[in-house]
Amino acid sequence: MAEKIKINVKEILICALSLAIIAAGITAALALTNAATAGRIEELYQENQSNLRQQVIDADSFAEIKFAVDDGEVTCYTANKGDELVGYVFTVSSTGKSSGLVVMTGISVEGKVTGVVIVDENETAGYVDKVKKAGFLGRLTGWDSNTKLKVGSNIDGVSQATKTVKGIAEGVNKALEYYHSLASGEGK
């Protein structure tokens, strides 16, 4: 036989109200924490990005510029030593084994790759490490911007990380494309 359960509406309302108050308090605390730390988080992000730019090209300062290309607008950074323009830094998203591979490429005014770093990635654990340990990123330094990277053709890949390497090459090729657009005056 089924027993009748006595429902005490007052207890249910007290529990529901208590949970609502706790949830509101936690939400308010999170909002205040976010408001208090947002400026510092942005400052640290900008500092990190500047450090990454300095890893891909030897420069004293960087200035953000935007220019138009066929598929939209590109944001990049000019790299300067003193008052002299020494190159550009492009950050491009591409797809390796997974989407979300973000590649930063430095390119000198002479059209040579000065450095490449992985800014962010969602690759299978260990793939980017394999690429770095194999020296693939270093092999890109000095690459002429007039030559498109073709993994397996004009540059060797990395065993067991082929898609990651191809994604990096795709990102660098896109940066080279943007560089040519900017250098030729097509990017406005």
Tell me if 106 sits within 8 A of 88, measured CB to CB. Answer: yes
Q: What is the count of structural domains for the chain?
A: 1
CA 165 to chain centre: 16
Question: 143 lies in which domain range?
Answer: 57-183
**Torsion sign over Cα 180, 181, 182, 186:** positive
Give domain status of residue 145, yes or no: yes
Give domain status of residue 171, yes or no: yes
Give domain status of residue 129, yes or no: yes
109 half-sphere exposure, CB direction, 13 A CA radius = 9
Give domain status of residue 8, yes or no: no
Give domain status of residue 45, yes or no: no
Structure pTM? 0.77
β pairing state of 84-95 and 99-108: antiparallel
Per-residue pLDDT in tens (0 to 9) along the chain, 188 residues: 556 667 788 888 999 999 999 999 999 999 999 999 988 988 888 888 888 899 999 999 999 999 888 878 888 999 999 999 999 999 998 888 877 889 999 999 999 999 999 998 878 788 888 889 988 999 999 998 888 888 888 888 888 888 899 999 999 999 999 999 888 776 55
Give domain status of residue 2, yes or no: no
